[in-house]
Amino acid sequence: MQILRKTLFAVCISMLSAGLFAQSVDDVGAKFNEGLEAMKAKQYATAVTAFEAAIKLANTVGAGASDLKDNSMKQLVDAYYRNGVTMYKSKKYDGAVAEFDKGIKMAKQTGDSEMEEKLVVVSAKVLSSKGLSLIKDNDLDGAYTAFDQAHQVKPTCVISYYGKGLVWKERGDYNKMMAAMDKAIELAASEPKMSKYSEKAKSASSKALVAAATEEINKEHGAEAAKLITDSFKYEQGDADTYYYLTVAYNKSKSFAKAEEAANTALSLKQGDKSSIFFQLGQSLEGQGNSSGACDAYRQVTSGPNVDAAKYQITQVLGCG
């Protein structure tokens, strides 16, 4: 009788265990299906929660739920990606990056190299967007940190190098600005989708260097101004105004032959009144001892603030009036 009782108890325990096991697998399946429905409804945060719960339950169940676990993990990678993008669109940068980080780890676990690369790219992009936003808020330290984080995720991130260039521009360190912008341009050459950032890097660099040059001219630092302007030509072809500033810079540094060359280029590009350029041309020619040529240039100064100065040079200094 005792043996019979033990046998019946063992059978009951076995049946109970089997029932619990089956119910647990069903629970995993229910959470998995809940995640799929949430994905269809574009409720990605809900999908993330459901797939994470399915994986946790599957770990409890064991081998019997391995297929459901694998499928949940694959779906969870996509859910992390889509939930992160949703956050990014709402400018929740940190939340988005956190989702992408989890997605990258999960993609590595599942061996999904395609999704891993996709998540890396978008994570670096979001961090870069955060950095650009912080520049607008004048938080240069925070912006630079965001760009560094982007490089940790993707060392070849074009936007991050462009962003670092902007930070250095705002700080007035033009050598470091150019180094960062040059790297952005170099990397963009092999990424057609990044071509617009290459153009942005060129434009921002050129404008910053010319603007800095005008400040140096105002300080009577001709040589420094000339270097800044010639550096700008790496990024964009100069216009008439740029070559005019270069002429002024060379005249201030007594590089009169270079000033003459720059002035002639400015004259060839300039539309409309050219009086300011002709005055600088006269200065460059006078500096080289070409009195006749200087007088001819000064005679072309017919408007603007330099008219009286040009007449004075002609009549009182050069005596060719």
The pLDDT mean for the chain works out to 92
- Say if 8 falls within a structural domain: no
Task: Give CA torsion, residues 110, 113, 115, 117, to 10 deg.
Answer: 140
Q: How far apart are CA 97 and CA 166, in angstroms?
A: 22
pTM of the model: 0.86
pLDDT at 148: 97
Percent of the chain with pLDDT over 90: 88
Q: CB count, 10 Å around CB of 34? A: 17
Alpha helices by DSSP H, the chain: 2-40, 44-61, 66-89, 93-110, 113-136, 140-153, 158-171, 174-188, 195-218, 222-232, 240-252, 256-269, 275-287, 291-298, 307-312
- Higher confidence at residue 268 or residue 62? 268
pLDDT (tens digit, 9 = 90+) per residue, 271-280? 999 999 999 9
| Structural domains in the chain (count) | 1
Per-residue pLDDT at 13: 38
- Interval 35-44 mean pLDDT: 96
Asked if the model's pLDDT at residue 104 lies above 90, the reply is yes
Taking residues 233-241, report their average pLDDT: 96
Tell me if 229 sits within 8 A of 245, measured CB to CB: yes
Query: Is residue 225 domain-resident?
Result: no
Q: Residue 39 is part of a domain; what is its CATH number? A: 1.25.40
What's the confidence (pLDDT) of residue 184? 98
Within a domain: 71:
yes
The pLDDT value recorded for residue 65 is 86
Which amino acid, 108? K
Q: Is residue 290 part of a domain?
A: no
**Domain assignment present for 110:** yes
pLDDT tens-digit readout, 170-186: 999 999 999 999 999 99
pLDDT the model gives residue 249: 98
Q: What percent of the chain has pLDDT over 70?
A: 93
- Residue 275 neighbours by CB distance under 10 Å: 16
| pLDDT at res. 62 | 87
Q: Note whether residue 60 is domain-resident.
A: yes
Find the range with the poorest average confidence among 18-32, 133-147, 201-215, 228-242: 18-32
Please compute the mean of the pLDDT values over residues 27-39 and round it to a whole number: 93
Structure tokens at 118: 């996709």
Find where tokens 């003459």 sit: 260
Contacts 24+ apart (CB under 8 A), 206-212: 206/232, 206/235, 206/236, 208/169, 208/174, 208/177, 209/174, 209/235, 210/238, 210/242, 210/245, 212/172, 212/174
Residue 270 lies in a domain: no
Terminal CA-CA length for the chain = 139
Distances from the Cα of 311 to the Cα of 83, 252, 279, 315, 319, angstroms: 72, 20, 10, 6, 10
Written as six digits, the tokens of 65 are 């739920």
Domain span including residue 59: 19-125
Judge whether 117 lies within some domain.
yes
* CA neighbor of 34 nearest in space, from 95, 82, 76: 76
